[in-house]
Each structure stands twice: as structure tokens, then as C-alpha cells.
Structure 1
Amino acid sequence: MELADLQDLLNRAPGRRVVCLGDLMVDRFVYGQVTRVSPEAPIPVLARSRELVMLGAAGNVARNVAALGGEVALIGVIGGNDPNGREALRLVEQETQIEGYLVDDPDRPTTLKTRFVSGGQQLLRVDLEDDKPIGGTVEQRVIRCVEDSCQGAGVVLISDYGKGVVTDAVIAAARRAATACGAKIVVDSKARSFARYGAVDLIKPNAAELAYATDMPTESDDQVAAALLRALELCEAKAVVVTRASKGISVAVRGEAVRHFPGVPREVFDASGAGDTTLAALGLALAADGALEDAVAFAQLASGVAVGKVGTATVSPDELVEAALSAHMAPAEAKIVGPQRLSEIVARWRAKGLRVGFTNGCFDILHKGHVAYLTQARAWCDRLVVGVNSDASVRRLKGESRPLNGLESRAMVLAGMSSVDLVAPFEDDTPIGLIELARPDILIKGADYAEDGVVGADLVRGWGGEVKLAPLVNGYSTTGVIARMLETKS
């Protein structure tokens, strides 16, 4: 998505009203480390370190709309005075841009999904739920909430996880209310039959859900196109949009040829809730009068950011702008980061259980010694951060004649190396500020240093890290290279 189009859409989004209706869940993430197998059974023992609780499913869709600037009416069902229902109410109350219409049902528990995670990998998910369809007074209360909340809405999002809230009567009420206020209806469906939603504007399955609903394969572009056309034959929707993970998004509009929007390769830390983010972004873009093509591009950008986070995460406008800028950068440019971005990326690496290494230097003229040094440093860790002195910092350390190459040039050359994962410039004489931000597991310097003389060594050892000294290649140094250049010139 072009940056100008993105900024225009983000400027129109604030204050747009979106109704989010469907299966509400509480997502609980229990994080820890696995270092041994239980003596009682062949299962891992998770040493719990922290826990996150957030709204999931329809609640996560609402959170994402709110994070992108929209005003949201969230309609869902919770258990009758159960602790998870109270947790859901508390989480909704924390979101100033979410207006909660939570109907309590004494005959069912609040849906809870608990995920146990170690090293960025889910070990187990435990679900507490009752997926029988709502009925009676609970269903009527949900319908009244739909009727009361749709005034002024630009879009109604139906998040149907098959947990019983999205009944035929609720769908019919949503269609009537949307027609009355001129809103579009977008459905995220896990149902076997798309026909149950009637003449909605858009249905958004993923590839597996499309295959399930059409009994057709959805691996290749041609297979997806055929399945999309079949889906339109089986339902009354105006369009079907299928999300295909790294393969992108494909769109079928009734009466038009199928279009494919390729995906942008991204490192996936956690795909939990990526479909919710896609639905939220699609809906908000359409509520802001965006064309379908722009809404799809907006959704791709948002979901790409979401999968780079841990848990059912939301996405902010600033993150979308940064992602759009990165998409137009060369791969090397995208590795050069400021302090805030460094902290965010390293946090995601650590959540995935990756060992982070840190080294630093001026790197004025990159030579064989540097290449060998950085290669060795990277071999000791899973991800390597390289701090590089600013031009002013180099002058203070090396004299007014240095650096020979400016910061932009030095950072780009470092970022172009496969052994380097991030390059972080710093202005001070030492990288202590970056070390405190990155909290590396391994601090690396050349063997010409003593361990006790390495800046930040005490800090790193204090949080359980280690200091390593990499061997140097004899006969190679920047000072030596410059001296030989001067000798050749004279």
C-alpha cells in the first residue's frame, strides 16, 4: 500500500463507528520456560514466568478497530456471573473506544482459551466453552443490542467462531439493522455454509475455511479462484475475500474476475488473532469509505504487523506507517533501527526464546577482520545486534580526521551482512544505553579487550548473560588499512 493512500485512510478512520457482533472470548497466555521433562509422565514441565489476559475473537476484532482509531460497539455473550465474564467486563471497560453490549447467560460459561507458551511455541491450549446456540431471552437481548447499537455505524462485523452466538435470528437482525442505517456487513465465517448469512456485502474465510465450505482444494491461485467462484454460487454475498497466510489475499466480487494480492514475506512470531486483525482492518477501511482494493491492502498491512507480535495483539496507526515505509526499503535499510524499534524487536525475539547477542564498534572501513569477527559473534547467538558509533562519537574517539565513511554508509554496509540482524546507531561514547535497552544474553567484543574492561559486562552478567571475546584476524585493523592506503598514495 502506498504511504499516501495509507495516511489518507488513517486520517479518515478516527471516529468511524463499527459494530462488532459475535462470539466473545477471553484469551489467557501463560508464558514460561521448559527445562526438564516431568518424572510423572513424558511431558514438559513449564516454569511459569508471566501471564497475559486479553479479549479474543469478537473482542479482539473490537480491540483492533479501536487501536486503529474507530469507535466500536461490541456485542457478545458472557457467562452468568462467572469469573471469566467479570474479566471480560473489566477488559472492555479499560478500552475507552469500545462500547460494551455484553449479554450474560446463566446457562453457559464465558468462553476461555488458555495457551501455554515456551520459547515462542504453544505447548498446549485448553478451551472452556459451550457452543450450543443461544435462544430464548438471551437471543432476544442480543437482537435488541444489535438494533440499539447500529445507528450511525458504517459497517457491521460478524465474527462467527461457531460458539453459538451468531444464530439465524441474530444474522437476520443484523441485516435489518444494517439496511436501516446504510451500513455494510462483513462476516468472518468458520461455518460449513456461507448461505446462512444471506445477502451480506463480504464474507472473509481463510483458505482452510474456504476449502471446508466448498469441498474444493485451495492451495494454488487457480484452485483458490475456482473455490471462490463456487462460494459465490453457494451464497448470496456480494464478495468473498480469502486470506492465505504468506500467499496473500484473493478476492472474488460477483460478476468480476478473481484478483490475487500477493503477500509480503514476514517473520511470524504468533499467528493468534491474525484473522481478527484482518477483519477489523477490512471493516474500518470500508467504514471510512475506502474502496475494496484499498481495504484489502490495509488489511494485509495490519495482519502482517500483527503476526510479528506475541499473543492476540492489536496494531497501531504508527506501526502501519512504519510497516509501509519498511516495505519500500531495501532489506538492508530495514535492519537499521532506532532505540524504540530495537527494544520492540528484541522483546519479540526473546519471547520466541531466541538468544540475543550484542557487539559494537565504529566499523569505519569494513575489512576481512570485521567479517570474521561478526561471523563468529553471530555463531554464538540466534540474533546479533550491532551498535555503531555516530560520526560525532567516532570523532571524539578517533580524532577529527575520522570517520572516513559517514554513519549512513557504515550502517548500510553492516546491515548488508547476513551475520548482522539489526544495526543500532548511538551518539554517546559508549553503547551502554543500547545494552540496557537490548538486554543481550551475550555481550561480544574482540580478544584485544579484557572481559572486565568490556563496557556493560557487569550489567549483562547481572541479568544472567555472559561475555565472550572473539579472536581477531592478525594483520587487519582499520588503522592499518588507512596507513597502507596513505603509503600507497605517497
Structure 2
Amino acid sequence: MFTSEDLLDRLAGTHVVVIGDLMLDRAVFGKVGRISPEAPIPVLEMGREETRIGGAGNVVANLHALGVKVAAAGVVGGDAEGDEIARIMAELTPGGAILWRQEDRASTVKTRYWGGGQQLLRVDRESRTSLPEEGVAAILDWLDERIGETRAIVLSDYAKGALSPSLVEQVILRARAAGRPVLVDPKGRDHGRYRGATLLTPNRRELVEATGIPASDDDSVAQAAEALRTSSGVDAVLATLGSEGMLLAEAGGTTRIPGIRREVFDVVGAGDTVIATLSAAMAAGATQAEAARLANLAGSIAVTRIGTAPVSRIDLLDALAPAQGKVADLERARAIVMNARGKNRRIGFTNGCFDLLHAGHVAYLHAARARCDLLVVGLNDDASVTRLKGPGRPANVLDDRARVLAALADVDLVVPFAQDTPLDLINALKPDLLVKGADYLPEQVVGWKEVASWGGELYLAEIKPGVSTTALLERGRTRQGDPQA
């Protein structure tokens, strides 16, 4: 029996194969300030644009974020979007990928337009042509080469044609012969096409469509899930119920997994996160119920973000152990900043030694936080403080300085760094706002050129005169009769 913490330790290096519909998810963010005079519709003033891998690719991205060695197969068009999908997939699939190219096919692209945190419109460009038999044969040959090392297979069905009936049938036959579980995120009403699979993950609407049973309460959900399990000939059905959690129907009975209440920003991609986490946990040796509990946690995190943002191992560790607090390494900081940016939050950054925290620091940080939604403080480690300030500094060790900063309400995140300047940290986090003291000129501020290049701003905060760590230390030595004073 595994706890969720045990499972997270076992995920790294497990092998999972994903086969399904690959696509691009584009998001255009802007502001709505007026209604069009041409029609009763909002006018979106365009701001930034983001492109991420979607569909089966989002399952791959989530597995990659969990540390899983993932391989993937799908179909793309012979267009620029197909090239972009191929480039992203090459980065995410250390286990290899096979993308069947069809020159006359349009690669699937979903574009969502957002204004003030509200989705205004979605535009789809797609082809639903079924994968030809030569493509099926190529993917099956590819699967045969790696099924020995694979520990789980995911079929991510978005009904765009990649999962043709013959491919689904042959993948399941090969997986069962090799003793590998097959997990399916299904589409359509005919779930019998997945006969022989290990587990289906329909949401409530899909469950109702497939069975005709209302699924309005626990009893009817359990009835519908069991009906789908037996009629489709699969081992288990995991019904995903949004904020109400999940219900797992197996041959031995049902398991109810309670929901985790969170502020929901966007449900896009949550199903991909669930099946990715579920397959990774099962590949690591978990039972279906143990894997479902971890997947339930991952899904609850996914809905707090805008768009298809993967949930990482660090995200799950943070959720399981929230006492880690505000002090973070770079990897965790990037995940937190990505999450905040997905919610359209403004990211601020400042840095320093913060050796002895004083009133000037407090006022400076308060002014910085007033101009952003999340303030990240880069904190020089002890060795870099010594190089910058000389022998005898810092007066306080890194852990103590970080704890004091983290105790301030105006500080959202403290990220220690070892370099003399925070440039690497700035490039990694890409803040929208860079804050430094007004005793600097803009051209003297490390990272300002880089922040300006991606459209960020610089704020030079007023410095309280006569207040500094050096001055405090000098006064202390003078009072103690220090001959060096």
C-alpha cells in the first residue's frame, strides 16, 4: 500500500506511452473596455499570446512535469502548426515520439480569447479524418519496439481521428498480451470501442451520454459507472465529478473519493492532468484507488490555472505539505510563478542581501508589493554576500534572512541564489515588474534590459535616507567600543 508521498518518490523514470489526438492550445489575453458599436459584443484589446501543447500533448506535458519518461504517438498536418507540435513534443518525450504527417491535413488548433479573467470566445481549426492504415501500422510497429519497457499506456481520445478503431483495438490487444494497463480518456457514446481496456475516465456528462443514467447523486453515479464498466467490457471506470471528486467502479465494488474545494479559474485540461497522474501512479505500482486519490489532488490543482498548464511533482508535494512556506528553490519558484501568470497575475521581482532587516527594507518591500500581485524576492546566499560586502558579512546566515523576509505579508516568495547578480533568476522567472532602489539609474539596474525586452516595467522605489544595514552595523560597533568603528 502506497501513500501519495510514496508514489511521488516512485514516479521518476517510470515509462508511459501516450497515443492520441495532438493539438495546439493558444490563449490570447487582453482587456475589455467597451462594447462594439457594430454588434452587441465586447471589444478585446489584445495583450499577450501564449501557445501550449494540448489534447494528448497536454497528457504528455503533465507526465513530463511529473518526471515520467514518456513516449508519444499521434498525427499532425503538413503545416507550420504541425511543425510546432513536433518541436514541442521532441522536448517532452525522452522516450521518443512518432508523429504521422498528412500533408493535406490541418493540424488541430484551439484558440481561446480571454478578457479580464473571463473566456470570451474559442475558435477551433481542425480535421477529423481518420488515421490511414499505413499510419496505424507505423504506430503499432513503433509501439512493439518499446512495449517491453512501458509500464502503462494512455489513449487520449479527442475524436480528431488519431485513434482509429483498428488502432485502438490493436493497442489494447498488444497491451493485454504484455500485461500492461491501458487507460482511456474517452469520447463519444460508443465506449464499446475500448473493450478490453483497463480503465475509462469519463466525466459526468460523458457518463450520462454513454449510459442514459442521470448520474445526479452518488447512487446514480455508481449505477452509471458500473453499467458503463460492464457494457463496454473494461476492468474499471473512474467517473470524474469536478469539485465533487471521483467515483471508482471496479469488479469488487465502488470507491468514493471526495472532492477538494478550490477556487476554479478554468477546467480546460483538467482531464488530461487526471489521466496523466493516474497512469504515472499505476506505472509506479499503485492500485487504481491509490492512483485515483493522487489524480484527484492533481485535478484540483489544474482547475486553479488558466489554460493547459501542467501539474508538476513539486505542485503535488506543495499541496501535500503546504508548510514548506514561501522560501523556494528556482524549480519550485518557476512553477509558482507560472501558476500565478496563468491566472493573469502581475509578477514583481526585487533582490538584495537583506542582511539586517530594517524599516527602510520594510517600506521598500511594501512599495514594491503595492505595484504587483505576487512579489518575488531574490536573496543572495552567504558566499555571494561575502563577495559583495566583504569579510564579516553577512551578519545573519541565509536561513535566518530568508525566514525573516518570508514572515513579511508583502513578500510572497523568497528565492535564494548563489550568483553575485540575479540575472539568471530574472531570465528564468521573467517578471512583469522589476523593482530597485531610487539610488540607482535605470541603466545600472541588472536585468532591466532583459525585462524591457519582454514588455516589463522598472520601478525605482524611494529609499529611506540614512537607513542601511552597513549603518546599523557601524552604530552597533561604535556603541560597543569596537576599535574598528
Alignment TM-score, normalising by the size of structure 2: 0.72
Q: Match of 1:184?
A: 181
Alignment of 1:31-430 (within 5 A): 31=28, 33-34=30-31, 42-47=41-46, 52=51, 54=53, 56-62=54-60, 68-70=67-69, 72=71, 74-76=73-75, 97-100=95-98, 102=100, 109-116=106-113, 122-129=119-126, 134=130, 148=141, 151=144, 152=147, 154-163=151-160, 171-192=168-189, 194=191, 197-210=194-207, 213=210, 215-216=213-214, 223-224=217-218, 226-236=220-230, 237-245=234-242, 248-260=245-257, 263=260, 272-296=268-292, 299=295, 312=308, 319-320=312-313, 322-327=314-319, 329-331=321-323, 333-339=324-330, 341-342=332-333, 345-346=336-337, 349-350=340-341, 352-364=343-355, 366=357, 371=362, 373-392=364-383, 405-427=396-418
Deviations along 1:211-270, one digit per CA (max 9) or x if unpaired, are 55564456xxxx3465134311343232222345566544332323414165496x8886
Structure 2 residue identity aligned to 1:127: D
Contact 1:246 1:264 in 2 (8 A): yes
Structure 2 residue identity aligned to 1:407: L
Deviations along 1:7-36, one digit per CA (max 9) or x if unpaired, are 33424x14x6x362x4x2421525465587
Task: Using the TM superposition, name which of 285-294 and 360-369 deviates more.
Answer: 360-369
Q: Distance in 2 between matches of 1:380 and 1:407?
A: 27
Q: Distance in 1 between matches of 2:400 and 2:116?
A: 36
- Seen in structure 2, the aligned counterparts of structure 1 residues 207 and 420 have a Cα distance that, compared at 3 Å, is farther
- Seen in structure 2, the aligned counterparts of structure 1 residues 177 and 167 have a Cα distance that, compared at 3 Å, is same
Alignment of 1:444-483 (within 5 A): 444=435, 449-450=438-439, 452=441, 456=445, 459=448, 465-470=457-462
- Seen in structure 2, the aligned counterparts of structure 1 residues 4 and 149 have a Cα distance that, compared at 3 Å, is same
| Structure 1 position 342, deviation (Å) | 4.2
Q: Distance in 1 between matches of 2:24 and 2:152?
A: 25
Q: Match of 1:26?
A: 23
Q: Distance in 2 between matches of 1:391 and 1:471?
A: 24
- Seen in structure 2, the aligned counterparts of structure 1 residues 392 and 104 have a Cα distance that, compared at 3 Å, is closer
Contact 2:98 2:139 in 1 (8 A): no
- Seen in structure 2, the aligned counterparts of structure 1 residues 416 and 478 have a Cα distance that, compared at 3 Å, is farther
Q: Distance in 1 between matches of 2:18 and 2:345?
A: 39
| Structure 1 position 207, deviation (Å) | 4.3
| Structure 1 position 457, deviation (Å) | 7.7
Specify every segment of 5 or more residues in structure 1 that has no aligned partner in the other structure, as ranges. Answer: none
Contact 1:435 1:456 in 2 (8 A): no
- Seen in structure 2, the aligned counterparts of structure 1 residues 304 and 97 have a Cα distance that, compared at 3 Å, is farther
- Seen in structure 2, the aligned counterparts of structure 1 residues 212 and 46 have a Cα distance that, compared at 3 Å, is farther
| Structure 1 position 407, deviation (Å) | 2.0
| Structure 1 position 313, deviation (Å) | 5.2
Aligned residue for 1:157, secondary structure, equals strand
Q: How much identity, in percent, do the aligned residues show?
A: 35
- Seen in structure 2, the aligned counterparts of structure 1 residues 476 and 98 have a Cα distance that, compared at 3 Å, is closer
Structure 2 residue identity aligned to 1:206: N
Q: Distance in 2 between matches of 1:129 and 1:206?
A: 23
| Structure 1 position 385, deviation (Å) | 1.6
Q: Distance in 1 between matches of 2:179 and 2:215?
A: 36
Specify every segment of 5 or more residues in structure 2 that has no aligned partner in the other structure, as ranges. Answer: 481-485
